[in-house]
Each structure stands twice: as structure tokens, then as C-alpha cells.
Structure 1
Amino acid sequence: MTMLHLRVGFMPLVDCALVTLAKDEGFAEEQGLNLELVREVSWSNLRDKLNVRLFDAAHMLGPAAIAATLGIGGVKAPMSVPIGLNRDGAAITVSLRRFEELCRHAQGDIADPAVSARALAAMVARRSASGLPPLTFAAVFGFSMHTYLLCEWLAKAGLRLGEDVRFEVVPPPQTVEALTSGRVDGFCAGAPWNSAAVEAGVGAMIHASVDLRRDCHDKVLAWRADDATNRPTAVAKLNAAILAASDWACRPENAARMAQHLSAPDRLGLPQALLERILNRELVQGGGRPPRHVAHFIRFDLAALRPAPEDADWVLAGMEQAGQTRVSEEMRAMARSVFLSPAF
């Protein structure tokens, strides 16, 4: 059988799991694919290399695929998404110093996002009155669920990201160092980087993304829009490999082997034990608190993989709240068209 070679870019995150498993567990080979996986350093690199066909497909932020298709952010690169890769799986982490301050200002249970947001607002007001520089929070990319979740959290206390709190973009693998150095006071990123910050003794995980929004649209498998149309066999074969990986990943007995795959130096390059805890939904919180079990922390099931037009609506609402664009009905229709009707 002649093997079809596909080059797929990915970022080192737990949510690249289905792409990794498609290769490492042989599901791609069963579909007649020779899958080459290439680890990247930033979401902009992934987007740009996909656009110029250095990649056939890419592990991609869903909002980034929409932004590129709409031409928001200076890059026009129409994309199509035939299948998702996960839902949920992110968290907000702050430095230990800021966590202690939040706890001092909290009036209620700090685990409640409204309580923590009001505590943050009190910190912001005190810093402003004292002439101190504003706090800085980061997300992994401007067009990401992480940015929009930060906006939703801050809005619970009437704060605006980029105004009351400074905003930076920090690629996922650099978030722990940014927190350690004091460059940022907190960040929102996908697993495992929140857990890595806690394990390094520099951060405390304040909220999982599911505390703010359940079943949140996250990573997708993106193709150039014209390739998705002109290469249906390649798209179908890779989709089938991803679906087989999803079925395998959803079996609890496979968590240890899945973590082993992800821990490889050319994948995430982090300890297997840390990744296995995340896959078992056991989150280290830091700040002197016990580990927390989050039943639906990250989803790889079949329903999580189905792109949905309402996901595009949420992304556009997030873009408006973040001040990135004003949405027209034409934009809404174009954004919804990024997500192809799933054939599964």
C-alpha cells in the first residue's frame, strides 16, 4: 500500500494528545498515512507555516483559525476545521505572591470566580491608589479561549483586560518562566503548564476553565480552506485516525501509556507522572491547598470533537469583549463556515 505523507504541526500541550496518539499508537498508519509531527514554539508560527504549506494540517486554537479566516490581526489565511481535538483543559494560574494577596482580599470562597475577581479588583484599586504599576496577565495568543476566559473572569468584577490589567501574549512553554521572572503576575493556558508552574513552586492554580465555562471550544485540527476542499481523501484519513485515537484515549486504563507518549522529549518533554495526574483529572493547586479532582477538566470524547457553529458565535463574542473587532453578520457567516459539517 502506498502511504500518504502528511506533515502536521503541533504545540506542546496535553490537548495535542489525539494527534500524537494517531502517530504513536499506529492509528494513522492503519489509514495509510505516514504522519510526520513537528513541534512548534508559538501559535503564530503554526498559523503561518500552515498558510504557506510547510504543514498539511495543524493542531490549532479554534479562535486563531477563525481570526485568520476573517483576516483579523493582520494575517489573512482562510482555514477549515473538519474535526476538533478537545474541549476545556485550561486554567488560570497566578504567582504565589499574588495568590496570597487574593486570599487576603477575598470576601468569601476564593474558589468562586466572582469572589476571586472582586478580590483582584480590590488589588487593582489599591495598586492604582498607591501609584504602583498595573498587574500583568498573559494568555497564549490574542485569539484564544484563554484570552476570552480571562476577559470573562475579570468582567465579573467590572475589570477590563488591557485596561485595568495589562495583557501580554506568552507562548505556552514560556508561561512558567514568565511567572518565575515576574514578567507576568498570572496567566491562562492549557494543561500542563499550569500544573508545571505549581510543581515548580512558583504558582497557584486559581481556577480551571470549567469553573468559568463548561464544554469550552479549544483546539482543532485546521487545514488551509482550499486544501480541505481539494484533498478530501487526506482529510478523511486523518479524521479517521483522530477518531480512533479519541476512542483509545477515553479508556481510563490507557492514561499511563498516553502520558508516556506525551512525556517524550519531542512531544511535551515533561515528567510522565505530572501528565498522568492531569489525564486522571487530579490537579495540583498550590498555595497550600490539596489536589483537586475535576471530573470534566479536559475532554477528548466524540462529542468534544464535533465542530459546531455556536462555537464560532462564542469566539466572536469573545473577540468583541476583548475589543478585537466589531462583528457583522457577514463575519458571523464566514466564521461559522470555518467549521465543516462533521461526517461522524
Structure 2
Amino acid sequence: MTTIDHPDIAAPAVTSGPEQTHLRAGFIPLVDASVLIAAAELGFAAREGLTLDLVRDVSWANIRDRLAFRQFDLAHMLSPMPIAAMLELGSNPSPTIAPFVLGRGGNAITLSVRLFEAMQAMTGLADDASALDCAKALATVIAGRKQSGMPPLTLGMTYPYSSHNYELRYWLAAGGVDPDRDVRLRVVPPPMTSDALAAGAIDGFCVGAPWNMVASEKGVGRIVATKQDIWASSPEKVIGLRPDWAERNRDSVSRLIVALNASARWCDDPANHEALADLLAQEANLGAPVEIIRHVLAGQFALDAKGNRRVVPNYFVFHGAEANCPSSTQALWVYSQMVRWGQVAYSPEAAATAASAFRADLYASALGLRESPCEEAVADPFIDGRSFDPAELEAYVRSFGSPNQGATA
């Protein structure tokens, strides 16, 4: 369907029969909205008797509020957002559930070219340095700035309750940087990050594709880490629903999951990536250069404007390896980071509430899968060498120390 660019007044949803089949869906212009965009534009939703009207928005706070205030029926959301909502965190918490994950991967951390060059000058950092080595080099620069009385660096992320915030913090802490004391973290909407970096308003950012590549292609940014470097299994975006709406529209929710599953399978097939890039590049969707989107889908990174490149296998996983299943293990890891950084206190009750935001039961029912369809084990390593076992959640949380002591990895 034709996308609608952030209207001031939302039109009322149309219903058909006992359940709603004409659905309004909010999204942010990022590559990880691919599954939702393809479902609407390529007929996957229509095959299930659904009409999806996509509404392009500008910030995650808007997405949150417009879902809560019933201007959206469903929304492209950061994976921690439903968890935060169920824990009543943030300025406008409204119960939200996630019955479908839109995929894994897609984030990266980009620093200004000037900052990266300072890291190289101070530490001898190689052009092909690992993500962890880059974090350690940044810690050296920060220590030098402190000794010289220079102000803290400012780093952008997209939302306090976001994978970007937690991944940026995890990367910084792994290198010996305290995210709350050594730098300033600021919220910057994804489409504005490269311009903010170019203007010197921020010194780096963690955001989803294609905006890291846009910054590097412009010659203003240097990509230093990707999501896969930090934790490859981390869920990125999800479909958010209000629980009361989902209860009233059970059949439509099942149809939606079936449509999204088919769309995700299509998006995951490399044979379709050229067509997907053309679709995403349209101004109503992402409005980003099609060649950059093609490179992003292939995991082909131009790290900077000097020709340094990197290929990241499975940079985006839209469907394979159970990428769409909303796992309670993933929800609990997100909750552990909320506790780690002082956003919420630990308790078994809060952990259970956090896990309840990811609804694998709805996912399994819609697709006719077994009762517990998600692979709960965490096999992928973390950048700091830690492992995560949800059965040892409290011990894992305590191992980081009290809030603001994340660098004791």
C-alpha cells in the first residue's frame, strides 16, 4: 500500500466483520522495516485478507505514543520497547506485546573521522582493528581528554530503551569506558545521525542501517563495530501490539504473523535483495540511495571514505535461524541490561513481567508450531567473553556490579 508520511491526524481504522482487517502500521525508515514494508507492498498481507497502511514516522517516542493512543494498530518497534512498556518504564508506558521479531542484525557504531584518527594517533590502531580494540583505543583517547581538561565526547543513540543504547553501552564498557561518567549519551533520531555527525553535534552514534553507511560514504564517519561484534543473537526490531487489541483481533493477529513470516522468508533470500533494495529506496519508504541499501543487505561495508572495507556475513537475518521467534531468553537479556544500567531494579517478578512481553505462544499458534518454538540457548559469544544463561539471571546481573559499574567486565 502507499505509505503515508507522518500525518497530523490519524484516520479511524476500518473494520470488516467481527475483526479488524484494515490495519495502520507505524514505522521508522530503516532497513530493518523491510519485512513490514514488503508485507504491505508485495501482497503478503493481502493474501491473508489484510490491508496494511504504512505510516512513516520520525522518532521512536512518536511510534510508542501513537500505538498507545490508538493511532496505530501495530508498530515497527525497538525490541526493548515492549519490555520497557510492560515494566511501566518511560514517559508514557502502555502495555505492549511482541508476537513477531522482524529479524536480527543491522546496527553499527560509527565514530567521527576526526575521533578515529585521534585513536590511531594515540594507540597505533590499525585500519582493520577489531571492535574490541577500537573500544579500548577510544578509552585511551577519553583518558587523554580528561587529563587535558577537555569536555566529554557526545555519542548518539536512538532511544533509552533500545538495542542501540544497550549495545553501545556494552561495547564501551568492554573497552573500559563508563557510559554514564566518561561520555555523554544523547538521543538522536536515526535519519538525523549522519548530519549531526557532520555538523559536529555528536562524536559518534549507534544506529541501524543504512545511516552508518550514509555517514561513511559522505566521508564524515568511520564504522568501528557492528551488532554481530557485540552479540549476534540480539533481536533488533519487533512488531508491537496493544494486548487488548490483540485479544479482540485474535484471527487478524494470526493472519498478520503468517503474512510477516512469508514476507521475512522472501526478504531473507539473496535472490530478492535487488528488488528489496529498489523497494526500500523509494522516498516514501527509506529514501536512501539504492546502492547503499544493496551493499547493506549484502553486509558489504565501506568503513570510511578511504576505501577500507569489511564484509559481515549475515549482517541482516530476516528469517533464518529462528530469527522471527520472540524468545523469552532474548527478553531476559534485554531486561538484564536495563538492570545493569540502573533503569529498573532486579526482582524475580520484574523478570517474569519482562519475559511476558515476547509472545512466542501467539507466534507458535499462528504458524502451527510446537508449544515452545524458540531456541532458548545462547550460543553466540559476547564481545567481552561473557555468556548468558537465563536460568542464572540474577547471578549474571550481579556480576556487573551496581549500576554505573558496567566497565568491570
TM class by shorter chain equals over 0.9
CA distance in 2, matches of 1:45, 1:18: 21
Q: Hey, what's the Cα distance between the residues in 2 that align with 1:106 and 1:228?
A: 53
Unaligned runs of 5+ in 2: 1-15, 368-409
Other-structure match for 1:329:
348
Q: How far does residue 220 in structure 1 lie from its aligned partner after superposition?
A: 0.1
Aligned 1:1-344 pairs, distance under 5 A: 4-106=21-123, 109=126, 111-286=129-304, 288-302=306-320, 303-341=322-360, 342-343=363-364, 344=367
Over residues 79-103 of structure 1, what are the superposed CA-to-partner deviations in whole Å (9 max), with x where a residue is unaligned?
A: 1111110111100001110111122
Q: Say which is worse superposed, 207-216 or 14-23, in terms of deviation.
A: 207-216
Q: Does the aligned pair in 2 maintain the 1:161–1:322 contact within 8 Å?
A: no
Q: Aligned partners of 1:182 and 1:321: how far apart in 2?
A: 30
CA distance in 2, matches of 1:93, 1:87: 19
Instruction: Give the root-mean-square deviation of aligned CA atoms.
Output: 1.4
CA distance in 2, matches of 1:221, 1:29: 18
3-state DSSP of counterpart to 1:86? strand
Shift of 1:322: 2.4
Instruction: Report the AA paired with residue 23 of structure 1.
Output: A
Displacement over 6 Å in runs of 4+: none
Give 3-state SS (helix, strand or coil) of 1:47's partner. helix
Aligned residues of 1:250 and 1:300 also touching (Cα < 8 A) = yes
Gaps in structure 1 of 5+ consecutive residues: none
Give the percent of matched residue pairs that are identical in Structure 1 and Structure 2.
39
Give the letter aligned to residue 113 of structure 1: A
Change (3 A) 1:60 1:72: same
Deviations 1:34-69 (A, max 9, x none): 110000000000000000110000000011111122
* Deviation at residue 138 of structure 1 after TM alignment: 1.1
Separation (CA, whole Å) in 1 of partners of 2:229 and 2:175: 16
1:96 and 1:287 in contact (8 A); partners too: no
Distance 2:145 2:278 in 1: 44
SS for the counterpart of 1:35 is: strand
Task: Kindly indicate whether the alpha-carbon contact (under 8 Å) linking 1:90 and 1:188 is maintained by their aligned counterparts in 2.
Answer: yes
Q: How many residues are aligned here?
A: 343
Contact 1:107 1:115 in 2 (8 A): no
CA distance in 2, matches of 1:122, 1:108: 11
Q: Deviations over 1:120-166 (max 9, x none)?
A: 11111111111110001111111111111111111123321121111
- Amino acid in structure 2 at the alignment position of 1:335: A
Looking at structure 1, the residues matched to 113 and 274 of structure 2 have their Cα atoms a distance apart, in angstroms, of 30
Q: Displacement of 1:107 after TM fit?
A: 5.5
TM-score normalised per structure 1: 0.96
Deviation (angstroms), 1:74 = 2.8
Distance 2:240 2:254 in 1: 13
How many Å apart are 1:290 and its aligned residue?
Answer: 2.7
- Report 1 or 2 for greater relative contact order, CA contacts < 8 Å, sequence distance ≥ 6: 1
TM-score (norm 2): 0.81
Letter in 1 for 2:68: N
2:108 partner SS: strand
Report if aligned partners of 1:106, 1:116 keep a CA contact under 8 Å in 2.
no
Cα distance in 1 between the residues matched to 2:297 and 2:176:
34
Amino acid at match of 2:22: H
Of 111-120 and 274-283, deviating more is: 111-120
SS of equivalent to 1:6 = strand
